[in-house]
Amino acid sequence: MDQQRQITVLQASAITISTIVGVGVLSLPLAAVRAADAGAPLVTLLGAALSILASMLIVWLGMRFPNESYIEYSEKLIGKGLARTIIIIWILYFAILSSLIAREFGEVVITAVLRNTPLEVTVIVMLLLAAFTSRKNIMTFAYIHTFYIPFILVPVLLIVALSLKNADVVNVLPLWGNEPSGIVKGFFMLSTMFQGYFIMMMVIPSMRSPKKAMRSIWLAMLITSILYVLVVSATVSVFGAEETKKLLWPTLELAKDTSLPANILERLDAVFLAVWVTAVYTSLFSCYYFTIYSIGKLFRLQDHGMLSFFILPFLFLLAMLPQSLVQLNEINALITQFGVALTIAYPGLLLLVSLLRKKRGNQKQ
Amino acid sequence: MIGEMYSGYLYMAIAIWIFSGLFNLGVDRTNYGQFEMKKEQKASTVLGWINLSLGVLTFTGAMIIKLLV
């Protein structure tokens, strides 16, 4: 059996879920209430719906070329020159995204956990971890994600469920918020929180049955959407929209307020942060791996291991560039919006060209 | 600029450049040689030297600027 074609449907779903659920989960309710006040759950749901459509585009495209990497079929469809130019932009985007994830992780850790630790240390530790683990093949990549998925999903769902005892339904009414006009702009913004589905472009050629890729993306997006809507609903129902707007990391505050029944254990933010570190690692791992995988495929290298340490110092410098948390959030918003456009427009363009030119890859596995 | 604005992490970046360059040259290049992956071996060599050179040059530049400022 081909060692590189062993990823099952569930593993592919686990990869996608753990890529999506990451550093953004802390500030997700803030983005949602800024867009739609009490209508935050609705705007999150709409953002999820848009992401599901975008992810289906990517998977549909990947299923048409099950034996080729996205770089190979891009070159086939739109020519080498244009494809390579766009892929270089793609690689730069994911490299910057990796550095932003590492930086945001560092900011949260030095604020909430290790207050005397320099920011550089937290950033480099996470980047080093991603660099070391990215040297392995895609099956190791899949195993790592599959291993961590229960540790991410179960505690988050538990904390959300326990927080609901402090919830007040009035805080999430009206369902469409006090300013429904914000919903249209807001749901595009919220869809940036789900853009981890890009990882399917890398996973499909390594799937045991690429024909089942649509099932895995559906499962992944469904679970992530439900999780995110629950997190936003719980936060807004506990704090209310106006209070949530004043919190930098509302999900963390929600975990702080949550306790086990009969107050057996309080301040669950410690548990939540431990889980969150895992979630951030898996997201960063995916972005990092995708970056070096893409560079390796672009230069037709059989192994991408040597690239993992090559890009490390550059990502570290990129991560350290923002001078403050405010600047980081501004850059983050700009980059992620550009990224959503990129991850929808480029695969959409390729799919359109593929359909118009009636080009498919070799369907034999 | 180098002496003031980036002094907090520049030396860490230099250390990472040098470490990654040495790792590529010492470990990756050897491993690829053993598996007779010529293209990857060549790529490791090039990338290793790039990172090592960048680390050494940045360190030299930072020292010179520190002496001048």
Which of A300, A312, A317 is closest, CB to CB, to B20? A312
Contact of B62 with chain A, judged by CB distance below 8 Å, is answered with no
| Secondary structure (DSSP) of B7-66 | TTTHHHHHHHHHHHHHHIIIIIHHHHHHTT-HHHHHHHHHHHHHHHHHHHHHHHHHHHHH
pLDDT band at B6 (very low <50, low <70, confident <90, very high): very low
Contact residues for B28 (Cβ-Cβ < 8 A; gap 6+) = A305, A306, A309, B40, B44, B48
Query: Quick check: helix, strand or coil at residue A209?
Result: coil
Alpha-carbon gap, residue A2 to A33, rounded angstroms: 48
Is the CB of A313 less than 8 angstroms away from the CB of B13?
yes
Is the CB of A313 less than 8 angstroms away from the CB of B20?
yes
Q: Phi and psi dihedrals of A207, rounded to 5?
A: -80, 145
Give this prediction's pTM. Answer: 0.93
Assess if residue B4 is contained within a domain.
no
Alpha-carbon gap, residue B55 to A117, rounded angstroms: 25
Distance of CA A3 to the CA centre of its chain: 27
Q: pLDDT digit string (tens) for A99-148? A: 999 999 999 999 888 989 999 999 999 999 999 999 999 999 999 999 99
Assess if residue B1 is contained within a domain.
no
Q: Say which range, A115-129, A257-271, B26-40, has the weakest mean pLDDT.
A: A257-271
Assess if residue A365 is contained within a domain.
no
Is the CB of B8 less than 8 angstroms away from the CB of A120?
yes
Instruction: Please give the structure tokens belonging to residue A335.
Output: 């980059």
Q: pLDDT digit string (tens) for A56-92? A: 999 999 999 998 999 999 999 999 999 999 999 999 9
pLDDT band at A260 (very low <50, low <70, confident <90, very high): confident
pLDDT band at A258 (very low <50, low <70, confident <90, very high): confident
Residue of B nearest to A304 (CA): B40
DSSP letter at A207?
Answer: B
% of chain A beyond a pLDDT of 70:
98
> Chain A residues with CB inside 8 Å of B55's CB?
313
Alpha-carbon gap, residue A208 to B38, rounded angstroms: 30
Name the more confident of A125 and A184: A125
Is the CB of A313 less than 8 angstroms away from the CB of B47?
no
| Total structural domains within chain B | 1
Question: What is the SS3 assignment for A244-312?
Answer: HHCCCCHHHHHHHHCCCHHHCCCCCHHHHHHHHHHHHHHHHHHHHHHHHHHHHHHCCCCCCHHHHHHCH
Query: Quick check: helix, strand or coil at residue A108?
Result: helix
Beta bridge pairs of residue A7: A207
Contact of A124 with chain B, judged by CB distance below 8 Å, is answered with yes
Residue A299, min C-alpha distance to chain B (Å): 10
| Total structural domains within chain A | 1
From A51, A4, A12, select the one nearest A215 (Cα to Cα).
A12
Residue of B nearest to A135 (CA): B28
> Chain A residues with CB inside 8 Å of B59's CB?
none
Is the CB of B24 less than 8 angstroms away from the CB of A309?
yes
Q: Which domain holds residue A85?
A: 9-356
Q: pLDDT digit string (tens) for A323-348? A: 998 999 899 989 988 888 888 999 99
For helices A269-298 and A80-112, angle between their N-to-C axes, nearest 10 degrees: 160
Assess if residue B47 is contained within a domain.
yes
| ipTM for this model | 0.90
pLDDT computed for residue B5 by the predictor: 44
Q: Phi and psi dihedrals of A143, rounded to 5?
A: -65, -40
pLDDT band at A4 (very low <50, low <70, confident <90, very high): low
Q: What is the CATH number of the domain that holds A37?
A: 1.20.1740.10
From A4, A192, A197, A201, select the one nearest A86 (Cα to Cα).
A201
> Chain A residues with CB inside 8 Å of B22's CB?
none
Query: Which helix (DSSP H) or strand (DSSP E) does residue A350 occupy?
Result: helix A325-356
Contact of A130 with chain B, judged by CB distance below 8 Å, is answered with no
Alpha-carbon gap, residue A197 to A52, rounded angstroms: 9
Name the more confident of A259 and B63: B63
Mean pLDDT to the nearest integer, B20-35: 93
Assess if residue B3 is contained within a domain.
no
User: Cα–Cα–Cα angle for A336, A341, A346, nearest 5°?
Assistant: 125
Is the CB of A306 less than 8 angstroms away from the CB of B43?
yes
Alpha-carbon gap, residue A365 to A343, rounded angstroms: 27
Assess if residue A3 is contained within a domain.
no
Distance of CA A29 to the CA centre of its chain: 16
pLDDT band at B66 (very low <50, low <70, confident <90, very high): confident
pLDDT computed for residue A189 by the predictor: 85
Contact of B18 with chain A, judged by CB distance below 8 Å, is answered with no
Q: Does A183 have pLDDT greater than 90?
A: no
Residue B38, min C-alpha distance to chain A (Å): 10
Assess if residue B14 is contained within a domain.
yes
pLDDT computed for residue A364 by the predictor: 67
Residue of A nearest to B37 (CA): A302
Contact of B40 with chain A, judged by CB distance below 8 Å, is answered with yes
Q: Does B1 have pLDDT greater than 50?
A: no
Residue A111, min C-alpha distance to chain B (Å): 18
> Chain B residues with CB inside 8 Å of A303's CB?
32, 37, 40
Mean pLDDT to the nearest integer, A147-165: 91
> Chain A residues with CB inside 8 Å of B43's CB?
299, 301, 306
Q: Which domain holds residue B24?
A: 10-68
